[in-house]
Structures are given as structure tokens and as C-alpha cells.
Amino acid sequence: MTIPTRSGVTETYLLMRNPPSAMPKVVVIALVGGYGAIDLASKKVPINFGPSANFLVRVRNNLVDADVAEVVVDAPSDKQGPMGMSDDFRLGPEHLTDLRAVLTDVKKRFPDARIFLAGHSRGTVSAAALAAKLGDAVQGVVLLSTATNRDRQGQALSTFNFASIKIPVLLVHHRDDGCPTNPYYNAERLSRSFPLVTVKGGDPPESGPCDSQSAHGYFGKDAAVAEAMKAWMLGREFAREVD
């Protein structure tokens, strides 16, 4: 789906539901990591849905069912290319404008669904900032492998006021996340304020510590992490530890 946002700018998102006629109870707005540009508008085939894809893309078959639909949001048309979305952009007003347009479009399609944001890695910069600003336009936010330390790419959420988020928050983090931008100890600190799902184990890494095929991307734990997310969003009991 491609929709207009700011002047001369469009935003493209991929809607996934199963079955295609489903009217889900929950729609997850997925915000991927890195620079966030996946070029959905080009409709190039194949889109990277394989093991090296961002966790929130790779986990789609575990996450999507009759109750849950997923919306994977691309970077806007003016932020495509290798530099994509900076942390300043993710934290700023233009990104908020773009996501408001996505939310409006999604709500037209699913007026009775509860809307949740979900961000993985750098996508948590977007998800946290948007959760603080959107208020009750969304019903909760899932922060997976939260980017809490400044690095060469930017400030991440190193100075973000998590108390500014007034909607429900779920943290998900692997105890052995080896990416220095996303240490588990910061998620553990935040768990004083928000529930935390601690993930352990998984498959041996097949990528670097900040990439998807490692503990950082819950490699080998897709189904269990998706189940914990779904249970929380649907208001059910959820596992606090996944091992």
C-alpha cells in the first residue's frame, strides 16, 4: 500500500493477514531496524523474507493469524537509499506525520482492531518515540532488542525519557544479545517500569552480533517470541522467559 504523507512524499507499507479476508483483533505496525529502508514501493522480487531479514519480517508466519495482522512500514520515499532514516529523523516530527498517515489508513481498513507498534533494534527508536507522541491512537508498544546506547550511527534511545510513554509497553530482549548498542542490562534496568520477556538460547549464530541471525535477532526462537508478543497484545498470560 502506498499513501501520500508530507508534501511530495509517500509512505509504503506491506499488509499481511491470514486468511486474506481476516478482520484481525490486533494490527501490529512493524518498524524494522538498521536504516529502515527496504524499498517496498519498487515491488522488486524477491523481497528479502529469508533468515537474514529483520526479525519482524522474518517472524511474519509465526505472528500473523486470524487474530493478528502485520503492517511492515518502509522508510518514506524521501528516505530511501543506503542512508535511510537517521535517529534524528526517527525521533522527529516528519516521521510522526508519516506514521499518522499509515495509522489513518490502517484504521480505515480495520476500524475495530487494536493497534500496536513493534520495533526491533533501531526500529525501537521509532517505536518508542511514536508511542510517546501518539497517545491513545495506539494501544501499546513492543520494544524488541531496544537500542539504548549511542553508537556511530547515532544517539539511539540513549537520552530518551521512557516515562514519556503513557501506553502499555512490553520489552523483549535476549540475555546474550552481543550488540553493544542493545545490551541486555539496559533492558533489565527498564524492567523496573515495564514487563520484560527474557529470551535465552536459540540456534548458533550465522551472522554478526548486531544482525538478525544471532541472539540479537532471536535466531532459532522465532515461534516462541512471536507467541509471547501475541499473548501480551491479546491480553492473555504470556511467558516472561523464553528458553
- Please give the pLDDT value at position 54: 85
- Output 119 or 49, whichever has higher pLDDT: 119
Query: Which residues fall within 8 angstroms of residue 44, CB to CB, at 6 or more apart?
Result: none
Average pLDDT taken over every residue of the chain: 94
CATH number for the domain spanning 238: value is 3.40.50.1820
Q: Are residues 18 and 106 in contact, defined by beta-carbon separation less than 8 angstroms? A: no
Number of domains in the chain: 1
Give the residue-averaged pLDDT of 174-190: 97
Query: CA-to-CA distance for 137 and 126, rounded, in angstroms?
Result: 15
| pLDDT at residue 224 tops 90 | yes
| pLDDT at residue 50 tops 90 | no
Note down the domain range covering 80.
2-242
| pLDDT at residue 43 tops 80 | no
C-alpha cell at 24: 484481525
Per-residue confidence at 39, pLDDT binned at 50, 70, 90? confident
Per-residue confidence at 48, pLDDT binned at 50, 70, 90? low
Q: Are residues 63 and 28 in contact, defined by beta-carbon separation less than 8 angstroms? A: yes
